[in-house]
Amino acid sequence: MNKTTVIVGLGSCGLAAGAGKTYDEFHRIRQADKLDFEIKKTSCVGMCFREPLVEIIDDTGKYLYGSVDVKRVDEIIEKHIKNFSPIPEYIIESEKYKSEDASFFDGQVKITLRNCGHIDPESIEEYESRGGYEAMRKISNTNMSYEKVIQSVLDSGIRGRGGGGFPAGMKWKFARNNNSDKKYVICNADEGDPGAFMDRSILEGDPHSVIEGMMICAYAIGASEGYIYCRAEYPLAIKRLNIALDQARKKGYLGQNIFGIPNFNLEIQIKEGAGAFVCGEETALIASIEGERGMPRRRPPFPAESGLWKHPTNINNVETLANIPWIIYNGPQEFAKYGTEKSKGTKVFALTGKIKHGGLVEVPMGITIKDIIYKLGGGITGGKKFKAVQLGGPSGGCIPEYLSHTIVDYDSVNATGAIMGSGGMVVMDETTCVVDVARFFLDFTQKESCGKCTFCRIGTKRMLEILTRITEGEGKQGDIELLEEIAHTIKDSSLCGLGQTAPNPVLTTIKYFRDEYEAHIRDHKCPALSCKKLLTYEVIAENCTGCMACAKGCPVNAIEGEKKQVHHILQDVCIQCGVCFTKCKFKAIRLS
Amino acid sequence: MRIKRIIPEKIVDSASVSEIPDLTLMDPLIEKYKTRKGNLIPLLQGTQEIYGYIPHEAFLKLNRETGLKLNEMYGVATFYAQFRLSPAGKHIIKMCHGTACHVQGVTAITDEISDLLNVKDGETTEDKVFTLETVACLGCCSLAPVMMIGEETHGKLTPKEASKIVKEIRRNEKFTENVKS
Ligand code: FES
């Protein structure tokens, strides 16, 4: 009989859901009861909505338990580990039981996330036991030339997963063709799109795959130094990367003549980003590594020609690099088997917002948005109506429900006015106001604009002012046209991707939800009942107990009524702050 | 907007801070990075790690000992969201205002905490226990709304829960305070 193994998912999301305590509790009880089972840790399998996740492997098979908070640990140990009787109610998936939530895994193809949630990210041995560093060995053992490596990446058809969708192999080729005694490879781990977290998950769950990807890239283009530019907001990712780099160094996978390839030397270091969205832009990122303000530079020259410290540089993002070892090891045709004609392979999406199964999914390109949301994502929370999905973050756009048959590949998504971006999918239901969402994004890009280009710096500010005005019921006739005009000007006259795409959320929401803008401007109404300033608050007499909580909370004394008597809101005094609504414990305030 | 958030209301001049920070703490840091290329940001990050913010004197010392120009350092320090030019509270509350958290109603939670502590975004409470900050995405979007206090991330929040967590920390602080005195 083998020892039972308990594996706890300790990614950032798991930890936020309390997995750390769960992990400790397993340890505590094991020691207290002198039990004999093994406890291991792994990272996130993407099923964030059921965190903390615990996998138990014993002689009878594998069992994935969901929502294992501290309180359930005791019961699981008692029943499953001590008495060999698994608890079906808590199991998400096993050979025998399959809960409804397990549909989350159906249709997923894991290439990028192949190891996430399956290995201990702090162990190089576990990475190697699942084929890790085999791609590097293959290059070394078969004397694969750099041309052949680049050709493989080209043949796989993989396009940059960070936003632009530029073919990765082409980039490598450019960097290779520029002669220089020094070249750099950079991993862009400055995941800036608020609402996407696949890069964090990969770095936390499988850091070696990214390092191996960088090695292969360095070999292909002839680089000898590498940087991983990682957001400081991801402390756990940085910690695990550091561990992984140390392990690789100890094993001789970094350093001189690595994998026995003569003159192939590589050192990789981590640079912590200091918090600036614009640093996702290649040239701004380079400026930041050089220790300057992260402001984009004019291109050409492209980084492949003159990048970091004026040397040829290749930059790929985390998700792209994590795919590379798999492609080299399994061959480009295997990768190109998935996807559509112009978008090959799989793509990771972060499902968030009003969706039942929030988390990370990896699907072949070409699947429809609808399938992602309904089949994998389980549909909309609370039985509400699906309204739109924001794809591509602040640079992307809103895709309305009636276009949800759109397939995910670069070109189809671009055709809607959104972009694939890094793959953040924020799902919105009927209670989300799209004008407010557009305002939210402009608020973000306006703050993050580096200020170099006038139209981006000032234009986004003006757009934000107009949008704020509209959501506060002060919109004017002609505002929509004005927004469109400024938007196009910003797009045309900005140097970098931030400015060129910043107006997208506004343009797409105007395109698909013009009537909602008009309702705000003309009728001073917010159809989603979300913009506070446009609502009226009323007391529902039947529910009001006269507890006075609302009256006490009201900052402008707009609520009248004696104790234990039905209260009343003076509409001309009310400033629509919403305090009464949040204070009321009896659902006696109505919005309209 | 970005700049407004970083520059403190009144720039803390060294005279008003009772103690001048112990600058020798920076020596190993300077030693390590002095001759490296692109050292400006790591030096500022390291300094902030030591003091929790970048004191005025630290800029001067860096200028003296590494030759980095003051205007360049200040330019970089005010460009990136990470850097702080005035001391922060003991606990920094980072409220995520990323897209997912916005859609899930984080604004109401920030308002609640802001009322509770009587501070606005970027401000520190009078007793120097809390600093409230809004940030863009903590990478736990599927648990939105999310806030991070110190190293700990709290997900699936409601205004009530968030204020419970903050109150709890405040209670513990008061308790240790009492024990000390
Ligand atoms: S949007 Fe809040 S954690 Fe990502």
pLDDT average per 10 residues of sequence, chain A (592 residues): 87 89 94 92 89 91 92 92 89 88 90 94 96 96 96 96 88 95 95 88 96 97 96 90 97 95 95 88 94 91 94 96 97 96 94 92 95 93 91 92 94 93 92 94 93 94 96 94 97 92 95 96 91 88 89 87 89 84 85 82
What angle do helix axes A504-522 and A460-471 make, rounded to 10 degrees?
30
Structure tokens at A444: 């973000």
- Per CB-CB distance under 8 Å, the chain A contacts of B82 are 232, 274-275
* pLDDT score for B11: 46
| Confidence grade of residue B19 (pLDDT, cut at 50, 70, 90) | low
Q: How far apart are CA B125 and CA A9, in angstroms?
A: 36
CA distance B4 to chain A (A): 10
Residue of B nearest to A200 (CA): B139
Question: Is the minimum CB–CB distance between B33 and chain A shorter than 8 Å?
Answer: no
CA distance B181 to chain A (A): 32
Residue of B nearest to A293 (CA): B76
3-state secondary structure at position A455: helix
3-state secondary structure at position A53: coil
Atom of ligand 1 nearest to the CA of B102: 1
- Per CB-CB distance under 8 Å, the chain A contacts of B39 are 291
**Stretch 120-159 of chain B: residues touching chain A, C-beta under 8 Å:** 135-144, 146, 151, 153-156, 159
Q: Rounded mean pLDDT of B172-180?
A: 82
Put simply, the answer to whether B79 touches A289 (Cβ < 8 Å) is no
Q: How far apart are CA A406 and CA A164, in angstroms?
A: 19
* CA-angle at B130, arms to B128 and B132, nearest 5°: 130
Question: Is the minimum CB–CB distance between B80 and chain A shorter than 8 Å?
Answer: yes
Kindly give the residue spans of alpha helices, DSSP state H, lying in B52-132: 56-66, 70-79, 99-103, 106-117
Q: Rounded mean pLDDT of B96-111?
A: 90
* CA-angle at A518, arms to A513 and A520, nearest 5°: 105
- Per CB-CB distance under 8 Å, the chain B contacts of A448 are 2
CA of A17 to the centre of ligand 1 (A): 14
Please say if the pLDDT value at position B2 is more than 50: no
Q: Which phi and psi angles does A462 have, rounded to 5°? A: -65, -40
Q: Is the pTM of this model over 0.80?
A: yes
Residue of A nearest to B4 (CA): A447
- Residue A177 makes CB contacts below 8 A (sequence gap 6+) with none
* pLDDT score for A485: 97
Structure tokens at A588: 């006696």
* pLDDT score for B7: 43
CA of B142 to the centre of ligand 1 (A): 7
What angle do helix axes A479-492 and A504-522 make, rounded to 10 degrees?
170
Atom of ligand 1 nearest to the CA of B138: 3
Structure tokens at B86: 């005035």
ipTM: 0.84
Cβ(B149)–Cβ(A19) below 8 Å: no
Distances in whole angstroms, Cα of residue A317 to Cα of each of A272, A323, A484, A590: 15, 11, 32, 48
Nearest to A237 by CA among A212, A276, A270: A270
> DSSP per residue over A293-312, as a string?
------SSSPTTTS-GGGS-
User: How many A/B residue pairs have CB atoms within 8 Å?
Assistant: 149
CA distance A578 to chain B (A): 10
> DSSP per residue over B25-72, as a string?
GGHHHHHHHTTSTT-HHHHHHHHHHHHSS--HHHHHHHHHHH---HHH
CA of A420 to the centre of ligand 1 (A): 18
Question: Residues lining ligand 1, CB < 6 A?
Answer: A 194-195; B 96, 98-101, 137-141, 144, 146
- Residue B18 makes CB contacts below 8 A (sequence gap 6+) with none
Which residue bears the tokens 């189809």? A412
CA of A490 to the centre of ligand 1 (A): 27
Cβ(B75)–Cβ(A274) below 8 Å: no
**DSSP letter, residue A379:** S
Cβ(A158)–Cβ(A345) below 8 Å: yes
- Computed on alpha carbons and rounded to an integer, the radius of gyration of chain B in Å comes to 18
- Residue A533 makes CB contacts below 8 A (sequence gap 6+) with A471, A472, A473, A576
Dihedral in degrees, nearest 10, Cα atoms A382, A384, A386, A388: -90
Structure tokens at B16: 């008003």
- Per CB-CB distance under 8 Å, the chain A contacts of B103 are 352-354, 426, 428, 432, 437
Pairs from A37-40 (Cβ < 8 Å, separation ≥ 24): A37/A3, A37/A4, A37/A5, A37/A6, A37/A81, A38/A3, A38/A4, A38/A5, A38/A6, A39/A5, A39/A6, A39/A7, A39/A8, A40/A5, A40/A6, A40/A7, A40/A8, A40/A120
Q: How far apart are CA A249 and CA A243, in angstroms?
A: 10
Cβ(A307)–Cβ(A179) below 8 Å: no
Cβ(A60)–Cβ(A108) below 8 Å: no
- Per CB-CB distance under 8 Å, the chain A contacts of B154 are 16
Q: How far apart are CA A395 and CA A415, in angstroms?
A: 14
Residue of A nearest to B96 (CA): A194
